[in-house]
Structure 1
Amino acid sequence: MPHLRVEYSSNMAGRLDGASLAQAACDALLSSGVFNPPDSIKVRLIPVEHFRVGSGADHGFVHAELAMLSGRDKATKQRLTEALVLAMSACIGPGPQTVQVTADARDMDRDVYAKRLLPAT
């Protein structure tokens, strides 16, 4: 907890570096002060090969979905999603398409979330 899933359209190839985007998103979450310990944050990037923007326009997208344990207020969630949009936007280079950068925050039910840490050997 939290889990950050970032999907991005395949037409973004050459406009973003996955490792840099993952680092920037993780840094945005770390600097928020909301999550402790820092290693509880998990970020994963998922390229989307087949997609469509409603009108068929050649737009690109980067969308982050932040899932975190329930109990945080709306203002905190909004601060986190805005920080993610800013951090991810800074990682996108120039290119021919309009790019939609979005983020959403979702609650995971504390009563049913399960986690187990397996120690290194």
Structure 2
Amino acid sequence: MILGYSVTDLVGFFAKGLDQVINVVIMFIFAIIFFGIMNDSGLFKPLVKRLILMTRGNVVIVCAMTALIGTIAQLDGAGAVTFLLSIPALLPLYKALNMNKYLLILLLALSAAIMNMVLGEVQWLV
């Protein structure tokens, strides 16, 4: 309104922006529902037990594994895919080891950010 746009223009901007992100929003909603159902049914319990045995409950190894998974998942350059793959897979492990969930997000975001810098540099060199 301050910039001279009418309400009709603002509605058009809103609709155009919503059209660009609605597919990702729908994917997130169904992924959260899907992995929630899988988690409630106990699908991840054997995997979590196996991962705890492999890491011997060492949180440092789990953190390093989280950063590595985030780095590999970010190779395609899509942040949504990185978080949709990594968080549902690792969250039960973090809960079982009583680790802070913010640490999971921090490690994934940092590894994704580093990969974005690396992939951005490679893209500019080509």
TM-score w.r.t. the length of structure 2 is 0.29
Which has the bigger relative contact order, CA under 8 A and spacing at least 6?
Answer: 1
Point out the structure with the larger strand share: 1
Q: Which structure has the greater CA radius of gyration?
A: 2
Q: 1 or 2, which has the higher helix percentage?
A: 2
